């Protein structure tokens, strides 16, 4: 595992063996911090042609509606242009009910406009096992 980015509000890690990018969001990041994590992850996934992404939201408490709106309206089109729709994304839900509701909203919006394959999982191990399947 190769740490690519680490801040108190999140991290990006790369696993070269299976070409997986891991993004983790922690606490209640500001709008700019939230964007920084996602854009850093996209930059590294693009450089490595990674089509497997694990998003760990288990320690995220909340994100603002502006963050969710940005993710759907700005980030998603940029990510689809850079990586295409042939992606597998495993998501570890936040323990926070409000963050879970926001995650459901984002995933529903993404599924409506793309063929990206999502799976909600309960652990990093489960995410890894699913994402490396062909």
C-alpha count within 13 angstroms, C-beta hemisphere, residue 89: 28
Q: pTM of the predicted model, to two decimals? A: 0.86
Specify the CATH number of the domain 2-131. Answer: 3.30.750.24
Q: What is the pLDDT of residue 51?
A: 92
The residues with which 118 forms a beta bridge, in sequence order, are 89
Whether pLDDT at 53 is above 90: yes
Dump pLDDT digits (tens) for 84-93: 878 898 988 7
More confident residue, 12 or 79: 12
Torsion of CA 41, 50, 21, 124, to 10 degrees: 140
Start-to-end C-alpha separation, the chain:
21
Q: How confident is the model at residue 68 (pLDDT cuts 50, 70, 90)?
A: confident
- The domain limits of the chain are 2-131
d(CA 7, CA 89): 22
What pLDDT score does 60 carry? 87
pLDDT at position 47 is 96
pLDDT at 134: 64
pLDDT at position 96 is: 59
* Sheet with strand 2-7: strands edge to edge: 2-7, 10-15, 20-27, 52-60, 88-92, 117-121
What's the pLDDT at 94?
67
Percent of the chain whose pLDDT exceeds 70: 83
Integer Cα distance of 111 and 129 in angstroms: 22
The mean-pLDDT minimum among 75-79, 97-101, 115-119, 125-129 falls in 97-101
């Amino acid at each position: 595992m190769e740490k690519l980015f680490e801040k108190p509000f999140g991290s990006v890690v790369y696993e070269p063996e299976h070409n997986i990018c891991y993004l983790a969001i922690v606490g209640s990041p500001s709008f700019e911090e939230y964007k920084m994590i996602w854009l850093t992850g996209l930059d590294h996934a693009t450089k490595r042609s990674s089509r497997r992404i694990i998003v760990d939201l288990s320690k995220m408490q909340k994100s603002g509606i502006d963050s969710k709106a940005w993710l759907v309206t700005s980030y998603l089109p940029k990510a689809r242009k850079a990586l295409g729709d042939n992606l597998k994304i495993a998501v570890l839900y936040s323990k926070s009910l409000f963050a879970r509701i926001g995650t459901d909203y984002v995933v529903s919006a993404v599924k409506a406009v793309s063929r990206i394959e999502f799976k909600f999982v309960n652990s990093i191990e489960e995410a890894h096992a699913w994402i490396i399947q062909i």
